[in-house]
Structures are given as structure tokens and as C-alpha cells.
Amino acid sequence: MSNDYPFEIGSLNNAVTGDALPSVTDTGGELTSFEYSRPLAEYPTATEIAMFLQSRDKARHIYTRDLNVNGRAVQEAMDKYLAAGDFYPSSALKEALKSPLHLYYYKESGWREALEKYQRNKEYFDLGTFLHQSILEPTKFSRAIVEPGLPMNTKEGVAGLISFWTDKVSEVENAKELLTQADNEVMSLGLDMNKIDGMRAKYKALKAVSGLSSVTAEHKAIIDIVKFNYDRYGDGMFYELLKHSKREISLYYRDPETGLKLRIRPDAMQFAENIGTDTIISVKSTRQDDLQAFYNDTVRLNYGLSEGMYLDVASKVTGRDFRSTIMIMLQTTPPYGVAALVWSAEDLEIGKYRYRQALQTVADCKDSGLYLAYDAFAQSGNMGLIDMKQPGWNAKDLLPQDIEN
């Protein structure tokens, strides 16, 4: 064992529990057994990760260039990642498990993109997105401010807002450059900064270069509550967990079994040098008010498929052994709590199985050119007629009602 690590996660439990099972059994729509990709004991537990963090000396920076082993890992903007349309993301694979038609609509037909063009794109503050980003980059919490409620239809009101934002920009280290950049932006538009249109343009330019987000007083209060909960969770554990993690990293890979080109972009990647095991970190917002309800949502929304895909592709591209997922749950309703959830070995194995199942469905559809709708679930020869059965809980007894009394 390397002296670099206090201990090697996985070595604490040498007993092989959950050896590979011989087959996949599907009874009534429920998986009862399937062949594991590895022994369950090789997946780290929350206790093992916590022990590593408590004994770690310091976190280390991992260079992106060192992650390019069998594929491509690159730090890039989200727009560029989304533009790689010939690569399949986990969202497309989730659609394939619903039906081949869902896959066709989402990825192959062009219908989704055509309809999205009719959606109006407006610039507005998205609280959920801001909180999501702040969880991974906690310094962002302090970048939300409430600007004065001055009118934009008078020169006096706009002048007051310009003064407010000029003061904010002046507080940063390269203030002079940023103020000049804002002025140049207005001049490039050919506007007179002494007239109200030019003043409004300068106001917007100052906001843009400030690096701050203008929010309502209500949103600021929510952000402050989330930060309070974030800071005190696990005695500041999130700051240790995320030190030198990698964010905004896109990974591209061709699956050798199906020939499909795949892409993933985890919220964050953390490494064995820093937390004892190569780990995918995912942030998920929820309106649920307790953990069990959120756990149910992770099944309903098929998060497991994504996490299984992330582990597989990240391992293949980087040459590392990604075998842990930590999901950070963020409540967007009171009490705005957070939680760090280490996925169980069995749940990750189920996710990997569903990921491979979806990959094969996509490959079969592409090879055959057939993208059936729900008739794919009908028994062969039934002309699309599907035997329907309501869920078991529908059969429970109804409470008697005494109408007269």
C-alpha cells in the first residue's frame, strides 16, 4: 500500500459479499437477481470515506490531462458539451428504457429540437441553478446581492443603479479593467451614456462584469438559509469533500460492445488521493421533505442508470477505478436542508445493469431502424394489444362509508 494514503478503501472489508450471481431474473417487473459487475465488498461505505477524510493530510490537485487514457476528458463550457450531438448522454438512455419511441423523439427525430425553438428564452435568475452551482462552488453563496429598488424608466433611477454597481465592481481586485470593459461594451453599441438608453446599457454591462447575481430579497433569504445548513452539515464536511474535485469536465468514449459514442458530464469528480476512492459526485434538487421520499424519487427518475453510466465511462476514460457515488441532496423547500448520500453497492450495480440494458436497446434500434412505441411492450403476435394490470395497492380494501349517519 502506498504511504500516500492513510489506508486503502476496500481493504477494510476483505470478505467477498455478494459474489456474481449466475443470471438475471425478472419476476413481475422486479429484478430479483442479476450478475454483478464486481463483488459488492469492493464498493466503499460512508464510514470508510469518512475515516479517510478525517485522517487525510491535505487534498491534491489532479490535472485534467492525466485523465485522458482511453477516450477524452476535457474542461469545456456546457454549450460545447451539449453540441456534441452524435454522442449519447445518460438522458437519452433513460428515454430508451421508457420506449424506443421516446428515444426516437429525444435523440433521432429532430422533433424535440424543432419544438424547443418555439420556446421563448428569457434572461432571468434561476434560484435552483444558483443553489446547485453554489453547492459545488460555495464561494458563490456570497455573490448573491439585493440591488436597490430604483425605477428603470427615469434617468435618476438608472443613475442610482449605475452608482450601486460601480461601487460593487470597485471592490474587486481588477476593478479598473472591469470598469473600462463595461464602458467599452456600451460604446460598441453606439449608445450615448448620457442618454437613458446608454445609461441602461451601462447598468447591464456593470452587472455583467461584476461577477455577482442580483436576486430578490426572498431569494437572498433562501440562499442564506441554504448556506447556513451547508456550512454546519457534518461540521463543514462539504468543504473537505470537494477540495480539489474536478467540475465542468466532459468525458467522451466509444463503447466497444455496441459501438455507440457516449458522453458524460458529472457535477463533480473526486479522486482516491483526496477521499480514498475515485468518486462521482452528483447534486440533485428536491421538493421532498424527507429522505425516504427522496430515495423513492431516485428510483422513479432513474438516477441509478446515470450513476452507473458515470462510473463505467469515467473508469474507462481515465483508467481509474470509479466505484463510489456521493449524491448531495438539496431541498428547494423548507427547511432547505442538504444531505450527503453514499450510494449502496447493490443500487449502483442495479444502475449499471439498467445502463447496459439501455445501451443494448439503443444499439438494437439503430441497427434495425425500428423505433416502436408502446407496442414494443405487447406480446408477440398481439398486434400491439397490451395486457394491462393495475398496481397491487389498488386491490386494498376501501374504508366503509355510512352515508346516513
SS3 assignment for 147-209: CCCCCCCCHHHHHHHHHHHHHHHHCCCCHHHHHHHHHHHHHHCCCCCCCHHHHHHHHHHHHHH
Pair 323, 174 in one domain: no
pLDDT (tens digit, 9 = 90+) per residue, 168-201?
Answer: 999 988 999 999 999 999 999 999 989 999 999 9
Residue 246 lies in a domain: yes
* Cβ atoms < 10 Å from Cβ of 51: 17
Residue 264 lies in a domain: yes
Pair 253, 361 in one domain: yes
Confidence bin at 20 (pLDDT 50/70/90): very low
Residue 14 lies in a domain: no
> Among the listed ranges 231-240, 335-344, 378-387, which one has the minimum average pLDDT value?
378-387
Does the pLDDT value for residue 25 go beyond 70? no
Q: What is the pLDDT of residue 221?
A: 97
Pair 98, 55 in one domain: yes
Pair 62, 151 in one domain: no
Pair 107, 248 in one domain: yes
Pair 250, 101 in one domain: yes
Does the pLDDT value for residue 28 go beyond 70? no
Q: Give the number of domains in the chain.
A: 2
Contact 326, 278 (CB under 8 A): no
**Residue 147 DSSP code:** P
Residue 284 lies in a domain: yes
Torsion sign over Cα 306, 307, 310, 313: negative
Residue 382 lies in a domain: no
User: Between 90-98 and 345-368, two packed helices, what is the crossing angle to 10 degrees?
Assistant: 80
Pair 260, 347 in one domain: yes
Pair 306, 214 in one domain: no
Identify which of 114-118, 365-369, 393-397 has the greatest average pLDDT. Answer: 365-369
CATH of the domain at 361: 3.90.320
Confidence bin at 14 (pLDDT 50/70/90): very low
Pair 107, 244 in one domain: yes
Residue 29 lies in a domain: yes
Identify which of 14-23, 31-40, 300-309 has the greatest average pLDDT. Answer: 300-309
Q: Which of 227, 259, 283 is the last residue of a domain?
A: 227
Residue 245 lies in a domain: yes
**Residues 128, 131, 133, 134: what is their CA dihedral angle, to the nearest 10 degrees?**
170
Q: Which of 169, 193, 227 is the last residue of a domain?
A: 227
pLDDT (tens digit, 9 = 90+) per residue, 256-311?
Answer: 999 999 999 999 999 999 999 999 999 999 999 999 999 999 999 999 999 999 99
Q: What is the pLDDT of residue 396?
A: 78
Does the pLDDT value for residue 10 go beyond 80? no
Residue 153 lies in a domain: yes
Q: Which of 209, 227, 245 is the last residue of a domain?
A: 227
Pair 220, 297 in one domain: no
Does the pLDDT value for residue 132 go beyond 50? yes
Pair 356, 263 in one domain: yes
Range of the domain at 148: 127-227
Pair 150, 54 in one domain: no
Q: What is the pLDDT of residue 399?
A: 73
